[in-house]
Amino acid sequence: MSNPSQSVMVVNCGSSSIKLALYSSEDSVTPCITALGQRLGSDSASLSIKGDVQFSSQGNLSHQEALSLFIEQCATFINNVVGIGHRVVHGGETFSESILLDTQTYDTLKTLNELAPLHNPINLMGIKLCEELLPNIPNVAVFDTAFHQTLAPEVYLYAVPYQWYTDYGVRRYGFHGTSFRYLTDAAAERLQRPKQDLNILIAHLGNGCSACAIRQGISVDTTMGLTPLEGLVMGTRSGDIGAGVLGHVAAINDHSITEMLATLNKESGLLGLSSGFSNDMRTLLQAESEGDISAARAIDVFCFRAARHLAALSVNLPSIDAIVFSGGIGEHSAQVRQRIMRHWQSALVTIDDELNEQHGNEIGQISRNEPTNSSNDQPKLPVILVIATDEEKMIAADTYQIISSSFSNHKARS
């Protein structure tokens, strides 16, 4: 069993789910315990704990009951937790890095709920639950948007009345930042070059999808905007859509903005394009192989739009050292990767079929291009990589760092 002397806990609260992880030390590569609560608030709710503690439960569980069960089952580890790291989707312009939460910062976070009404209130609920159930353990907020605070005004501003930005905070914020931060570091390590010397395109493709341009280690453009609805086609989200579409359909069907946004968030994307068949890429690929036209349509649009957005993001880079695929689809679907890159119609980005089917060689490379180790010798051909993201590890690392810094500062003042 792992040594629980300096554990941190990672919490990711969803509307009907909770993901939990315990890291037993600061240098832990993987969590010693993970847990997943699903369908919370319903009769079919479940909690599954794996790792150094094994436990499962089914029945009508709330978020609080699931978290309480986790704490009870993992008491030996929980007793040694020094900090709790929370994924918070939206930090607005207020938070450009992870923070230690107190009453003031929590109250500030609540003012940002309107920027991410489907996500932030749930994230804050997780923080409150931890404060109630584990009152003596400090909480840290790690923001999806923080990594993109390096975007330039010409990138983050929309062509709308400027007062919308100054008065209402309307701008591109971007999301999946914790994932992109991890993938940037991982790509630099695999290419054996400092991230400050690298220019990378990253496609995080899962049920939620976004892409990002990384120039010399920082985010310079990304596809998601004010909310996680913008950009690529996703499982149930539409991605980019002309504003005129809303007015047109709303006028015909007498729908409210709230109803229209619900449709764009929950009934569109792969699900909508496949005429309600599925939002799961695996299911759609199988159906396409059996001749299903609606499944093929959804996959074709998904792949083309991903290719187009990656190409558009490339204008922010002086060169492309690597293209990275990640997320559930990006990591596991060789077909989707091949079809996306095929749209570029360039020998510069040709995927090696054999490596692609194996999801890459020992470093996840799915092209035969040779990476360079010299920052002064830019590669002629971009390396294409498959890298599994690890947002929980980044949240744990930030939590360790902030708690350690807070302890050191407190000790110095004493």
Q: Which residues contact 74 (CB under 8 A, 6 or more apart)?
A: 22, 33, 49, 53
Q: Kindly state the DSSP code that residue 350 receives in the 8-state scheme.
A: P
Q: Which residues contact 228 (CB under 8 A, 6 or more apart)?
A: 89, 116, 119, 175, 208, 210, 237
Indicate the SS3 state at residue 235: coil
| 64, 125 Cβ separation under 8 angstroms | no
| 215, 317 Cβ separation under 8 angstroms | yes
Q: Which of 144, 221, 292, 398 is catalytic?
A: 144
Active site residue 144: yes
d(CA 317, CA 334): 26
- Neighbouring-strand partners of residue 57: 47
Q: Kindly state the DSSP code that residue 365 receives in the 8-state scheme.
A: B
| 299, 284 Cβ separation under 8 angstroms | yes
| 226, 408 Cβ separation under 8 angstroms | no
| 260, 244 Cβ separation under 8 angstroms | no
Residues catalogued as catalytic: 144
